[in-house]
Chain A
Amino acid sequence: MVEAAQAGRSALLIAPTGGGKTLAGFLPSLIELAETPAEGLHTVYVSPLKALAVDIARNLSAPIEELSLPIRVEARTGDTPANRRARQRAAPPQILLTTPESLTLLLSLPEAREMFGGLRRVVVDEAHALAGTKRGDQLSLCLARLESIAPDMAVAGLSATVNHPDALREWLRPGGDVTLVRGAGGAPPEIGVQLPAGRLPWGGHMGLASAPEIMARIAQAGVTIVFVNTRAQAELVFAALWRLNDAALPIALHHGSLTIEQRRKVEAAMAAGTLRAVVATASLDLGIDWGAVDQVIQVGAPKGVARLLQRVGRANHRMDEPSRAFLVPANRFEVIECRAAIEAVAAGELDGDPPRPGGLDVLAQHVLAMACHAPFHPDALYEEVRRAGAYAELSRRDFDDVVRFAEDGGYALRSYDRWRRLFRDAEGLYHIRGDGVARIVRMNLGTIVDTPLLKVRMRGGPMLGEVEEWFITTLVPGDAFLFAGQVLRFEGMNGVVAEVSRGSASDARVPTYAGAKLPLSTHLAARVRTILNDPKRWRELPSEVQDWLRLQSLRSRLPGSDDLLVESFPRGGRWFMVAYGFEGRLAHQTLGMLATRRMERLGWGPLGYVATDYVLAAWMAFEPGDAAEIFTEDLLGEELEEWIAESSMLRRTFRNIATVAGLIEKNHPGQEKTRRQMTVNSDLIYDVLRKHEPDHILLRATRAEAASGLTDVARIAALLSRVKGRVVHRRLRRVSPLAVPALIEQGREWVPGGAEDDILAEAAALVNDVTDGAERFNETLAELTDEIQVRPAVDQDRSRFGRPERRRQARRRA
């Protein structure tokens, strides 16, 4: 690393956690600044986490003071107070630690060129976590700009072990000379599975059944990190552990919705060794090394091998000793998943895709930010943008359309001349229209589209953190909920702050977060299928899981190695169809689009679907026909364009893109309600734009982004041809054991089309049929919901409202 730096070359350091990466990243800067002290900004360090920037500032300051080096290290994030920001603008430190958002903001300032003119190095920490995300796109554009300002600067990327090191090198500096430095791998980790002594649940992702075992493990070890997958799960696991904590061991909670002060306190206690355990979400995935962590416990299935390795690597940061970890499956299916994950780790398998090309929405934001800095010429900016790794392949047409979008919306109907945000002078330079526009642009920088949050404060006490606004709106004063590790009583709103007091209710609710709804791929499908298919291997599994698999073969059957098992059953007023494809989530997502399109044509009334790594589960309004009608080779010939354009996936993608690009306003926390009612629903904008200007740059960007979530057509073709004539359709009276985990999966998609109208018509017809009108409506509805059975049994005494004929009739009327 130091060699590459002294030769002025860029480098990518790949090492597992615990290899002292971050220090290695700074070493060349410290050496150079110690040997030839100089004023002015020398090194910029960028991390995906604000907390990381702040912590490293603190950690670097200690040795610098000890050696009394003439080096100033400061952090600059969204939380930096205004007076310090002003000071940093006037007299920048030699080493500045920041985030992609704050770096963009600095580069949008008029004095950016002076500030970064003498820059020697940029250190990009956790590069693997940034590349391929929108924040990574933003950083990539910043790197290109920094290179224009300081052509001699070198880039040092620090990354955990990744599947695509060369793609990451290209991302850091396309076509540049980036030396790859590999840290020594440590001892292979020791990973075990911890099962509950009691019954292992069928469904659920929380893993609370294993709380006593987790508690026992904590008591046996020195320091434990208990990783969970969502914030709601963190609250529940923490509460469960606390109830069992008779010895009053110091256990803390750490997740992204708690206040910074709270998190800092926990991190400091962890570093000082005064804690025995911390229950954490991804908020502790990245970050500084804690030193003395003895074990890691992962509750719930690990989502991906790379992520599991990163988490496991948090334990025992000494290279010569293995990290120790336990996986705690939350349900029977996760036992198999955990087993597959451990095998994948042992086989040294990695997951993850190479970074995708940069988003045009992020580019639009960048163009405006650069115009805030100084007037730009499009030719020069295009050349610069193409030197960003994420935009190396950007076409001139896309770039020009993005600039036009930034100018005045870029519509074919040029009616927004008066309100243009950029104007062009006689020399062809683009200027920002005024300080007001620049202020709005700077305020909205950033690519994280948050759902609106509200602060939570203890009445007469400290802030506790933030909860999604919609959750608070479902509370009435007196309601209890679990947050920040305690039961709180909602007292009411005080301005834009939710005030709470200590509560005691046992039925406290748990806030959930939209971020938790992102489905994740585990890339373990093939291994899971192998285990399922081979009853000899079941002996490795706990007896409860074996029983569960046997029950599956009894009630339905197990997916074979070369067929396609499809189950259908009624549940909760709809019909479900579950296909066990084992082709991975992306392939199933595409398959879901194709299959629901055909179901719609066959009149089954598809309503939605969910794709997991293992199955596609679709639900519909009417009893499905033969599954063999759906999964045929010509399925890929379905006319999909319109169908996909109408889908919830595209609408969601458009909303994010429109927000990042600045078309619709970001939800600023605690914004007044009246103001939000003044916004226009992004679905309405999407529909109108699609009809009147289908080739608009934002729609092109939407389609491009959605395409990255809908791939693997070749895999689907292979699947369909393989299972030709081997589609096994089992009609069941109720959900099968193996289907349960899929039905509780997050990340559901809604299907466009008429089924919703059919259901509405049916509900309306019901009301009209019942002569006493409103009085019996709800009862009838309940009857109907329970009434759906697998076969219409004529001899059974049934309500006339439940007959399939009537439902079909309602459909035809529609």
Chain B
Amino acid sequence: MIAAPVHLLGERLMLCPSGALHWPAERTLVVADLHLEKGSAFASRGAMLPPYDTRETLQRLSLAIRRHGAKRLVLLGDSFHDGAAAGRMAPEDRSALERLCAGLEECIWVSGNHDAEHGVAEWRRRKLVFRHIASDVARSEAELSGHFHPKATMPTRIGGITRPCFLLCANRLVLPAFGAFTGGLNVLDPAMAGIARNAVRVFLIGDARLHSAPFDALRRAAA
């Protein structure tokens, strides 16, 4: 696993092929959009999806924390698929989550649109602001957010290859969704046009490393 370094206002951030972001200076791991209990949300409506998505997501998360030796975890919202999701967790998954949090010095839950009643609206550290949905950023700050589940199509000699991605803009970074049952939205979708206005680069998630391309290259290839 090879992480890719990016810099926002002088802060060195490591983008990981797992879809998490590591901030070494703060021993902090950042993840977005876990959508825990998405499977059971479907089950309650009659579609009996495998009840293992929470387990899978937590296993991946715990692996990422251990790999980087993180002391703090920041969850950028939509950690739970809905307001009642925490109550639906299987006992072993709940205790796995409790163990995971207990192993950390700090756990910051930013609230999302799916789990609005859970966590803080935003969190700040040094010059970075952590939110669910990207919005206005002061000149002196840079922003980390989730929500859009960005994915991108890289032009290659065999045609386009699509993967979830990190989207790096001049003053912000959008993280891919971390949850096991989460899909993606193309970074060129009109819904992301506002965010991508000053986009610089995308980092597509590969098996063991990230593959980066200038945002303009995607835009031109799609045209």
Q: Is B220 an interface residue (CB 8 A)?
A: yes
In the complex, what distance in Å separates the CA atom of A688 from the CA atom of B220?
35
Q: Is A684 an interface residue (CB 8 A)?
A: yes
B181 x A688 contact (CB < 8 A): yes
B156 x A781 contact (CB < 8 A): yes
B46 x A440 contact (CB < 8 A): yes
Q: Which of B44, B156, B180, B214 has a CB less than 8 Å from the CB of A759?
A: B156
Q: How far is the CB of B49 from chain A (nearest CB, A)?
A: 6
Q: Which of B43, B50, B88, B156 has a CB less than 8 Å from the CB of A760?
A: B156
Q: Is A508 an interface residue (CB 8 A)?
A: no
In the complex, what distance in Å separates the CA atom of A621 from the CA atom of B161?
13
B209 x A761 contact (CB < 8 A): yes
Which A residues are in CB contact (< 8 Å) with B55? Answer: 692
Q: Which of B47, B51, B215 has a CB less than 8 Å from the CB of A413?
A: B51
B51 x A681 contact (CB < 8 A): no
Which A residues are in CB contact (< 8 Å) with B46? Answer: 419, 421, 437, 440
B180 x A409 contact (CB < 8 A): no
The stretch from A262-270, A541-549, A770-778 touching chain B is A770-778
The stretch from B25-33, B61-69, B200-208 touching chain A is B200-208
B181 x A684 contact (CB < 8 A): yes
Q: Is A113 an interface residue (CB 8 A)?
A: no
B157 x A574 contact (CB < 8 A): yes
Chain A, residue nearest B156 (CB): A763
B207 x A685 contact (CB < 8 A): no
In the complex, what distance in Å separates the CA atom of A413 from the CA atom of B96?
15
A680 x B158 contact (CB < 8 A): no
Complex interface bits, A543-567 against B, C-beta within 8 A gives 1, otherwise 0 = 0000000000000000000000000
B52 x A691 contact (CB < 8 A): yes
Q: Which of B38, B44, B52, B88 has a CB less than 8 Å from the CB of A680?
A: B38
A757 x B220 contact (CB < 8 A): no
A419 x B161 contact (CB < 8 A): no
In the complex, what distance in Å separates the CA atom of A405 from the CA atom of B53?
18
B183 x A409 contact (CB < 8 A): no
Which B residues are in CB contact (< 8 Å) with A409? Answer: 43, 48-51
Once A416-B40, A416-B51, A681-B183 are accepted as A-B contacts, the answer to whether A760 and B217 lie under 8 Å apart by CB is: no
A413 x B90 contact (CB < 8 A): yes
Complex interface bits, A407-419 against B, C-beta within 8 A gives 1, otherwise 0 = 0111101011011
Considering only residues 667-725 of chain A, those with a C-beta below 8 Å from chain B are: 677, 680-681, 684-685, 687-689, 691-693, 696
Q: How far is the CB of A592 from chain B (nearest CB, A)?
A: 18
In the complex, what distance in Å separates the CA atom of A706 from the CA atom of B207?
26
Q: Is B56 an interface residue (CB 8 A)?
A: yes
Q: Is A628 an interface residue (CB 8 A)?
A: no
Q: Is A665 an interface residue (CB 8 A)?
A: yes
A764 x B221 contact (CB < 8 A): no
Q: How far is the CB of B155 from chain A (nearest CB, A)?
A: 6
In the complex, what distance in Å separates the CA atom of A83 from the CA atom of B43?
34
Q: How far is the CB of B28 from chain A (nearest CB, A)?
A: 27
Which B residues are in CB contact (< 8 Å) with A405? Answer: 48
Q: How far is the CB of B220 from chain A (nearest CB, A)?
A: 6
In the complex, what distance in Å separates the CA atom of A761 from the CA atom of B157?
12
- Count residues on chain A whose CB falls below 8 Å from chain B CBs: 53
In the complex, what distance in Å separates the CA atom of A693 from the CA atom of B48?
14
In the complex, what distance in Å separates the CA atom of A760 from the CA atom of B156?
7
Q: Is B120 an interface residue (CB 8 A)?
A: no
Q: Is A664 an interface residue (CB 8 A)?
A: yes
Complex interface bits, B178-216 against A, C-beta within 8 A gives 1, otherwise 0 = 001111000000000000000000001011110111111
Considering only residues 5-60 of chain B, those with a C-beta below 8 Å from chain A are: 38-40, 42-44, 46-53, 55-56
Q: Which of B47, B182, B214 has a CB less than 8 Å from the CB of A773?
A: B214
Q: Is A350 an interface residue (CB 8 A)?
A: no
Q: How far is the CB of A678 from chain B (nearest CB, A)?
A: 9
Which A residues are in CB contact (< 8 Å) with B90? Answer: 413, 415
In the complex, what distance in Å separates the CA atom of A677 from the CA atom of B191?
14
Considering only residues 712-760 of chain A, those with a C-beta below 8 Å from chain B are: 754, 756-757, 759-760
Q: Is A49 an interface residue (CB 8 A)?
A: no
Q: Is A272 an interface residue (CB 8 A)?
A: no
Once A607-B158, A684-B181 are accepted as A-B contacts, the answer to whether A767 and B214 lie under 8 Å apart by CB is: yes
B163 x A664 contact (CB < 8 A): no
In the complex, what distance in Å separates the CA atom of A367 from the CA atom of B206?
42
In the complex, what distance in Å separates the CA atom of A413 from the CA atom of B93?
11
Which A residues are in CB contact (< 8 Å) with B181? Answer: 680, 684-685, 688
A573 x B52 contact (CB < 8 A): no
Q: Which of B42, B44, B53, B221 has a CB less than 8 Å from the CB of A418?
A: B44
Which A residues are in CB contact (< 8 Å) with B155? Answer: 763, 777-778, 781
Q: Is B154 an interface residue (CB 8 A)?
A: yes
Chain B, residue nearest A621 (CB): B158
Chain A, residue nearest B203 (CB): A764
Q: Which of A663, A681, A759, A763 has a CB less than 8 Å from the CB of B213?
A: A763
Which B residues are in CB contact (< 8 Å) with A607? Answer: 158
Chain B, residue nearest A605 (CB): B158
Q: How far is the CB of A302 from chain B (nearest CB, A)?
A: 33
Which A residues are in CB contact (< 8 Å) with B215? Answer: 774
Q: How far is the CB of B222 from chain A (nearest CB, A)?
A: 11
Q: How far is the CB of B188 from chain A (nearest CB, A)?
A: 14
Complex interface bits, A423-454 against B, C-beta within 8 A gives 1, otherwise 0 = 00000000000000100100000000000000
Considering only residues 140-164 of chain B, those with a C-beta below 8 Å from chain A are: 154-158, 161, 163
Considering only residues 50-103 of chain B, those with a C-beta below 8 Å from chain A are: 50-53, 55-56, 88, 90
Which A residues are in CB contact (< 8 Å) with B208? Answer: 757, 814
Q: How far is the CB of B90 from chain A (nearest CB, A)?
A: 5
In the complex, what distance in Å separates the CA atom of A689 from the CA atom of B55?
11
B50 x A693 contact (CB < 8 A): yes
In the complex, what distance in Å separates the CA atom of A757 from the CA atom of B88?
37
Which B residues are in CB contact (< 8 Å) with A696? Answer: 50
Among B42, B55, B209, B215, chain A packs the most CB atoms within 10 A around the CB of B42
Once A760-B156, A763-B154 are accepted as A-B contacts, the answer to whether A416 and B56 lie under 8 Å apart by CB is: no
In the complex, what distance in Å separates the CA atom of A774 from the CA atom of B200?
10
Q: How far is the CB of B13 from chain A (nearest CB, A)?
A: 19
Once A760-B156, A761-B211 are accepted as A-B contacts, the answer to whether A692 and B50 lie under 8 Å apart by CB is: yes
Once A409-B43, A680-B183 are accepted as A-B contacts, the answer to whether A663 and B48 lie under 8 Å apart by CB is: yes
Q: How far is the CB of B98 from chain A (nearest CB, A)?
A: 17
B49 x A759 contact (CB < 8 A): no
Once A684-B181, A696-B50 are accepted as A-B contacts, the answer to whether A415 and B214 lie under 8 Å apart by CB is: no
Once A416-B43, A692-B56, A814-B206 are accepted as A-B contacts, the answer to whether A767 and B213 lie under 8 Å apart by CB is: yes
Q: How far is the CB of A433 from chain B (nearest CB, A)?
A: 9
B211 x A413 contact (CB < 8 A): no
Which B residues are in CB contact (< 8 Å) with A416? Answer: 40, 43, 48, 51
Q: Which of A440, A691, A762, A814 has a CB less than 8 Å from the CB of B56?
A: A691
Among A665, A757, A762, chain B packs the most CB atoms within 10 A around the CB of A757
Once A759-B156, A763-B154, A763-B211 are accepted as A-B contacts, the answer to whether A688 and B48 lie under 8 Å apart by CB is: no
A814 x B214 contact (CB < 8 A): no
A415 x B157 contact (CB < 8 A): no
B217 x A777 contact (CB < 8 A): yes
In the complex, what distance in Å separates the CA atom of A579 from the CA atom of B74?
53
Chain B, residue nearest A678 (CB): B42
Q: Which of A411, A663, A691, A757 has a CB less than 8 Å from the CB of B47?
A: A663
Which B residues are in CB contact (< 8 Å) with A621? Answer: 158
30 contacts between A and B (CB under 8 A): A409-B50, A413-B52, A413-B90, A415-B40, A416-B43, A421-B48, A573-B157, A607-B158, A664-B49, A680-B181, A685-B49, A688-B52, A688-B56, A688-B180, A691-B52, A691-B56, A696-B50, A757-B207, A757-B208, A762-B156, A763-B156, A763-B157, A764-B204, A764-B212, A764-B213, A777-B155, A777-B220, A778-B217, A778-B220, A781-B156
- Top 6 nearest A-B pairs by Cβ distance? A409-B48, A573-B157, A692-B52, A774-B214, A764-B211, A774-B216
For the A-B complex with A774-B220, A814-B206 known, give 12 more contacts whose Cβ atoms are closer than 8 Å: A409-B50, A413-B52, A416-B48, A419-B46, A665-B47, A677-B183, A688-B181, A764-B154, A767-B212, A774-B214, A777-B220, A778-B155
